[in-house]
């Protein structure tokens, strides 16, 4: 795929990006190189390649699912302004 300088200028205008005239030629060349690379990647036959989530065969270590904190609900609710049946009561704020 090729791209022309006037297309770059139109895209910049639509995106509201200001490109100096002296930078437009270099930017066009760089974007053309990127598009050439994308074309090369799209030309590769990947029919027999299985998709993978990670190129490394890394496995994440998981921690044991155990309780590490003591239940302090009674301590915390003892200092709360209003509690009923183990729940915090708050004032109504919406009419």
Structural domains present in the chain: 5-42 (1.10.20)
Is the separation of the CB atoms in 1 and 37 below 8 Å? no
Please report which residue ranges of the chain form alpha helices under DSSP H.
Answer: 5-14, 21-42, 73-78
As a whole number of angstroms, the distance between CA 10 and CA 80 comes to: 62
As a whole number of angstroms, the distance between CA 44 and CA 47 comes to: 9
* Residue ranges in the chain modelled with pLDDT below 70: none
Residue 52's pLDDT is 82
Is the separation of the CB atoms in 31 and 64 below 8 Å? no
Residue 18's pLDDT is 93
Q: Count of alpha carbons within 13 Å of 5, Cβ hemisphere only?
A: 10
Residue 85's pLDDT is 93
Secondary structure element (H or E) that encloses residue 84, with its range: strand 83-84
Residue 3's pLDDT is 87
């Amino acid at each position: 795929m090729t791209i022309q300088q006037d297309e770059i200028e139109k895209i910049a205008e639509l995106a509201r990006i200001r490109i100096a005239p002296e930078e437009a030629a270099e930017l066009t060349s760089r974007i053309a190189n990127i598009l050439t690379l994308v074309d090369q990647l799209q030309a590769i036959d990947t029919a027999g390649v299985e998709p993978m989530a990670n190129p490394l065969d890394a496995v994440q270590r998981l921690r044991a699912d155990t309780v590490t904190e003591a239940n302090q609900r009674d301590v915390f609710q003892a200092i709360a302004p209003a509690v009923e049946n183990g729940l915090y009561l708050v004032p109504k704020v919406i009419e």
